[in-house]
Structure formats: C-alpha cells, structure tokens
Structure 1
Amino acid sequence: MKITKYKIVYIVLAFCFILLLSCQTTKKVTFETPVDTTSKKINYQVKQTYTLKDINVYASNEFNGARLNGFRQINDSTAAVIISPENTPINESAYYAFKAWTDTPKPFYFQFQYTEGHKHRYFPQLKINDQWRSIDSTDVYKTGESTTIKIKLDKTPLLIAAQEIQSSDDVKNWYTELIKQKESYANLSIFGTSKLGRNLPVLDIYKGKPENRDLIVLLTRQHPPEVTGYFAFQHFVQTILNNSELSNKFLNRYRVLAFPIMNPDGVDLGHWRHNAGGVDTNRDWSSYRQPEIRQTVQFITETLKRYNSKLILGLDFHSTWYDIFYTNQIRKGTTLPYFIEDWFTALESNISDYTVNEKPGNSKKPVSKGWFLYGHNATGVTYEIGDDTPRDKIKMIGTVTAEQMMKILVGK
C-alpha cells in the first residue's frame, strides 16, 4: 500500500491527538513544596549466602524481601549484620531481613551495623515453622546506638526480619483467595507494571452497574516495610466483601478501587522506602514521574471519566511508630465535609477504650492524601498503624473502620 504525504500527516496528527489525551488524563496537581521524583540510582544488594568458616555460621539474603548488605565475624559468638539503604537521602529507619543457620546448634549474637545517620527502628520478628512471632525482649540488647540480638541457631535456616515479610507473591496469594466466588462483584485487573515489570493489581469492587457511582480509593504498600498498615487494609477490604446486609447496601451504591501493592519492586527488593527508581512514591502525586504512580493516576482518572463518576474518599494505609490518622484541614466544600468527624466519633463509640489519634494538616508535599484533596476535592486520609500494634487489634481496627465508613456513607 502506497503511503502518501497526506496519510503521513494524518498519522502524525492522530499520534499527537492521542498523546494530548494521555497528557490530559494525568493532569498534574500543584503542591506548595514540590519534590524532585526523577529516577535516581539505587544500590542493589548482592544476593548471596555468607559463610563464616571458622565458626560454621551462615546468613543469606537469597529470597524476596531480604535486606542484608554484609555479614562478618566479630568473635566466636557474634557476627556483624551490615545493613545499608537502597540509596540516599532516605528516612533513618533501617530495614533488615535475612536467614541464618549453623552446622552445630548454639546460641549466637547478631550485632546490627547501619550506615551513618540511620538507626534501629524495628523490633525483630522471627519466622519459625512457618509462623511469625516477635523475638523475646530479653534477647535484645542495646548499648548506646548499637543493637544486638541473641538467637538460638541450628541447621534449619531461621528468618529474622524487621517486619513480617509480605512479598508480591504473598499479596497475590491473599487477593486471589479473597475474591474466590466473589468474582461477580470483585473484579481483579492488572492495570500496569512496575519499573522492573512486576504486576500492579487492583480490585474493582461494586454490585450492579458501574455508571454514575461515587468512588472510594484504597491504597497500600507505597513503603515496602509498612506491613501493619497492609494488614489493616486486608481487614478493611475483607469487611467490605463480607456479604453482610451493610456490605450489600454499600456496594449497590458505591464503587471501591483497592490497590493492594503499590510498590512491588521495593517490596521484593527489600527496600527501606523507595521503588526501583530510587524514589519515595508517596512524594510523586504531582508530576507522576514514576511508573507506579503514573499508571495508578491514569487508571483512576480514566475510570472516573468512562463511568461518569466522582472520587469522594481516598484512604492510604501505612505504618509508623504508633497508630495515627493524618487528615487534611480543608473540609468545608469538599466531597464529604463531615465524614472525618463522624467517622472518628463512630470509631471511639464502637471500639472499647479507643481514642482516635488524629493529626490534621493540609498536605504541602505531593502525597496521596493531598492529591485526593487538591486533585479531586475529595476527603483524603493517611491511615497509619503502629509497627508493633498487636495483630488482633489491627484486625479490630481494620474491621470497625470499614464498617463505620459504610454506615456513614449509606446513611445507616
């Protein structure tokens, strides 16, 4: 087929039109304090098994979610666990995860050594016989800035980690099992891929027709180690899908987009905070320079446009030292101006001996809760669970927060 110059002009114009539409779907949101989120070099840890030949002790980072940058003998009963971040600048909270074992069973000491300016944050978790538990506090020793732990080693590799590991495979197993026999109203989509090609999944949840529905967005795992927030997200989503009278009424009126792993590369690479582009993705909700955020924004925006919907609420699940809700102060004139007050009042009324810890403040840096507010005039909350909050309490909080959200939104 002969291609004329007119056809070439038409093709070029069509391409430009498509490009223009693409740019429109990812409209930037302005923040008071911009952050440079262009990709930065990361330092990949070398995957290997370390051997201390003189004492027959071994350590390995050859699994997803591991973080171990060096391992050396200090004396016959102690080894240095050397931990460094994926790149800098970064938060000071060092993440670690490794397996250790020995030829001859014995108690052994591991001294954590971090690069300058970084500190020991996470209380060690142990995986024994496929069960996670916290280390006994009597086996943790702090001397100044140094932290040492005592472990009983034997021939079976023991996993020692800053937090329970929930790799991208673990997350996939969870949501795959969750939506079994619920596929008619919990639709799984892979809407994109990460910088290194890992899947970006979303659960699209509603009953009936999707058109003209208000939309709620749930996010988690922007920061890899923050698994307690992810656990709350799990219970929150499970409650929405529990087929109760409340859930059915809610899903017949609203639509939920739940994103269970926003940073799969960082999770599987054992990063402290960043993605494979060396960036904190929760600072990229303005220019969308990282593929994970860019594709998430595109998917949400296209969904809103295609189904004539409005985004009214966004919850981003994280972890920190203690339970806290970060909220926006601007509420008057937004989609749900009274939701925060009503929600928190309901939580305190329905959780025994519970006081909501709220820190209001309008987002200056380009974080998700600011994007919900400035980009969609929607209510946005950063939903934080403490690193050491007990699992039963996380379940209760995740369940009750979902129940009370649904009750408020359906007017029950």
Structure 2
Amino acid sequence: MARAAQIKVPATYMRGGTSKGVFFRLEDLPVAAQIPGAARDAFLLRVIGSPDPYGKHTDGMGGATSSTSKTVILAPSTQPEHDVDYLFGQVAIDKAFIDWSGNCGNLTAAVGAFAIESGLVAAERIPRNGVCAVRIWQANIGKTIVAHVPIADGQVQETGDFELDGVTFPAAEVQIEFMDPAAGDGALFPTGNTVDELEVPGIGTLRATLINAGIPTIFVNAEDIGYSGTELQEAINGDSERLAFFETLRAHGALRMGLVERIEEATQRQHTPKIAFVAPARPYTTSSGKTVNADEVDLLVRALSMGKLHHAMMGTAAVAIGTAAAIPGTLVSDAAGGGERNAVRFGHPSGILRVGAEASRQGGCWRVTKAVMSRSARVLMEGWVRVPGDAF
C-alpha cells in the first residue's frame, strides 16, 4: 500500500531563557496549518512528537518536558507600532492537545532574535551596533512586549557573559519588558482581593493570592501545604498523589478566577493558570549543587507547569511573582517581608532570578504598568523539520 511521503517545512530550533521550542514563520507553514484549527494542531503535534505514551518524544522535536514541548509561530504584525505577531503553543506530552491560552515568557527572549533574522523587523530599525527594541504583539493574550536584542555588526549578538540560572552556558543578555501585563480588562486580582480563602473539597480552605499578571497564577504558602519552599523536582514530580493534589488546587483556583465555568474544563487549559507556592528566604541547595544563601534572595518560589514542578521558573510566572511582590498584602509580598518594592530576587530550583515591576494604585485598584526581566536566547539549529504528509 502506498504511503504518504514526508514533507519538509522551514523551521528553527531555539532556546529562549530556560525553555526550547520550534519556531516557524506563518507563511512557511503548510497552507492547511496557516489558519487556527485541527490541521494546525495536528501538524504541530507531529512536529513535537505528541502524544507520546512513553513520555520521551523520541519521534519528534520535543524534549518531553513542559519547558521543551513548545511551538512558536511568527508573522508580520497586524497591530500598529509593532514589528511581529507572536503566537505560542504549549504542546501536551501524553495527549493530543495544544494549549493556546497563554504566553511563554522564556521563549519571548528568542522571539526578538528570530524576528530580526527572519526579516520581520524593518532594516532601518536595526542598528549596526547597539540594541534593537523589537516590538512584539503577544497574540495569545493580546499584550505588548518589547525585547531589547543586542546587535553586533548588523547581526543578532547571541554569545556573551550573561549567566542565567537554569541554563548551562552564558550568552548575550536580552532585556524583556512586559507592558501592562494584566490580562483582559486590566484587573490584576480577578476576585478583587489580594488574598482569598480558597475552598477546595477534600483538602480544606487555603489562603491564596489569585493574580492575573504575565499569566494567571495561584500562589499559596508552602507551609500551608506541607512544604518548606526549598524543594527540587524529585521531591514532587515522582509523587502522583501530590501532583493530583496540586492539580485539584489549580482547577479550583481556575474556577475562582473565572477562567473556567466548570471544574472539568480545567483539564482543557493545562497551561493556565499556573500554581506556585512561596516561602520566606532560607538557604538551600539548587539542582546543580550550588548553595543559595538566605541573604541572596527575598523569598523562595516553586511553580508547577503542565502538571510538574518546573526545573527553574517560567518567565510569565516570574512576571506574576514580580507584580505580586510589588503589592503589599499578597502572599508573595508577605513572604518577601512585606512593603512596597519595585524589584524582587527569588530562589527557584535552579538558582536565583531578579524581576522588576512597576505597580501603582489607581482609582482604588492596583495596576502594573510593566514588568522587566533579563533572559538570553540562542539558535540551536535551523533548516527544515519533516513530518509525514498525511499527519495533518
């Protein structure tokens, strides 16, 4: 019986922050995949190698973790005063499912470089030497992000001495500004409260900060759920009961935030909301064996992504952390010692991350104008990906 031949599609494999993903220009995708829908999802699932019941992504470009099962589609921007439209897809590992409900802050660091190298940024905006401010429209959440990409001799400068905990080798620093990062109508706190009493059947009532900045995030106190905040992946990811516990918390938090109408719907948006637990600063040993001293950080944060404890910190969750830390009365602010601040250093499983946020009270409500952090990015491979022609 005749079989469909493989097709090849131009693609670039890039690291951005502590994530990796397959990048495409919209115009390079197969025609059927150039519009949202089943064909696009099926194509991208086959590129990544999902669903994979073995959890390895052996037959695709994915890395079988939430940090490495990602796809990006870029196109000339449809928005005034922007360079590029950025659409992010978080690919499930063991399910035929792509979550389009949120952004990837880490891969945002690579979007600017890819846009420049792909001709999506006007040549007159790129200096011979210096920094190019790439104006990104984040299409998943409808927000503006500005990536400050270093340029040397007219080309993106990828190498450098900027070190990012969670990434093995140094690279060039890319500063990212998330403008007005609160989703929707700008309400940072969907319930109107900096702290809620979250009732979870079978678990009890927990104090929680439910915030919508960078990405919808649920923060709880580590101590309230039996943790210290110093945990690494192996302490949680191998425990199916605790993972189910976190998923239950996440689902009820999603309902309380108005992100879903029924608890069952939370399984269809695995990417959002995120759930994280916070604790006051204390010394701990990172996953690489480095010691983080209590005086090096303001607080500790551990976050889960796609049902597993993240090896470092998601960029969008870092925006939520920085924003919540800037607003007195949140659990994040309390863990950091309270008071107003415009930057915070937090410890995660791989080390330390600093994020800044500008928050102010306007008309009785808190509003954040922007959050800022530094990441790095690098092209790992470029050329074509191949998929069976009948896969989508």
Query: TM-score, normalised on structure 2?
Result: 0.24
Query: TM-score, normalised on structure 1?
Result: 0.23
Structure with the largest fraction of strand: 2
Structure with the largest fraction of helix: 1
